[in-house]
Amino acid sequence: MAHPRAALDRKLDPKPATILIVDDSPVNLQVLLRTLEGTGHRILVATSGKSAVDIVALARPDMILLDVMMPEMDGFDVCRTVKSDPATRDVVIIFLSALGEVADKVAGLELGAADYITKPIQAEEVLARVSNHLKQQQLEREVRQSRDALDRELSSAAEMQRMILPPELPNIGCLSFGAYYQTSRYVGGDYYDVVELSDERCGVLIVDVSGHGAPSAIVMAMVRAVFHAYPGPPVDPGAVLKFVNDQFRFLWGSSILATAIYAVIDGRTRRMSLACAGHCPPLLIRGSTVTPVELEGTIPLLIAGIESIPCTEHVLAQGDRLLFYTDGITERGNAEEHMYELSGLTAALINAQERSSEDLLRDVIRSVDAFADGEEPHDDQTLLLVSA
């Protein structure tokens, strides 16, 4: 039986690669060719810096063993040229030179070289360094390939998730809608929906599943399915949220929860009934004032059984706008670990009060992003605007 260490070494052996040797000395070239003979790698040879650059452009070698001291175009110039081209910048460069000064080695490494071997070369040293750098390059490529495959998979998941959001928002009676949706990663746990009901009424739902990434996205999709499976017209906000919660008994007591708010709005009379389960109240924009809508709520969904969820009645005035949002907006942080908070959102809405609905949403997001000042969001961000 083969020794486990031998099997591991074989597994880590680098795959056959293309190696370009660049040296203006025939003797040095012969020494390097004999050293690499039998390694299984494809060996190319260049006797000048210019010919090396031409070969690199055509053959795209994996590695270059590069002499420093050459006439006209020296090794540093070759390295600089190779590393400046996006198509060849990942080529591993090992300098070979009689120059042993630290400054020369540092200069080569700062140009992007991976290593520096001082002449006269030792065959064992060359073989060891070539093998180690090719192994590292191979591992880095495998990591990039895995990362790219994961990126493609997550991008597909994000596209599928967006497909379960409303493809377009309707105009119902005197009501119009606008939305902004952005996950902190590829997929997220925020969900919003607007459904048409009878008699020019509509149902407006916004849900924020705790956590981020795939688990939240899966629960978000399940919430959407349960909501659309509600038996009968979803005209009673409290009953709708209780129905959703009851379908998730298997999650009660787990670490997952979801805040939610569901409103039924009459597009003729502007009468509105809301039920809330732990979610932040929507903001009423009336003239130059912005105030949270008063409502009575319960604990979030998915935690435990909820006996009943109360409804609160309101009447919107002509010209009112109502902003539903998730806490990814108000809890957006900056580098100083300060949060945007409700005060920041309120100020942005007051500043944009005379803007169209589309521009208002755009201004709010600009305000949030300006506050974060380049700091990436750690939670999903959703805005749903109702104009009466």
Say if strands 92-97 and 63-67 run parallel, antiparallel, or are unpaired. Answer: parallel
Give the least confident one: 118-122, 159-163, 337-341, 384-388. Answer: 159-163
pLDDT of residue 101: 65
Tokens 């008994």 sit at which residue? Answer: 249
Tens digit of pLDDT for each residue in 19-66? 999 999 999 999 999 999 888 999 999 999 999 999 999 999 999 999
With 70 as the cut, is the pLDDT of residue 100 above it? no
Q: What global pTM score does this model have? A: 0.68
Q: Which long-range contacts (CB under 8 A, 24 or more apart) does 246-250 make?
A: 246/305, 248/222, 248/301, 248/302, 249/305
User: What domains appear along the chain, each with residue ranges and CATH number?
Assistant: 4-144 (3.40.50.2300), 164-387 (3.60.40.10)
Residue 240: which of 195, 285, 283, 186 has the closest Cα?
195
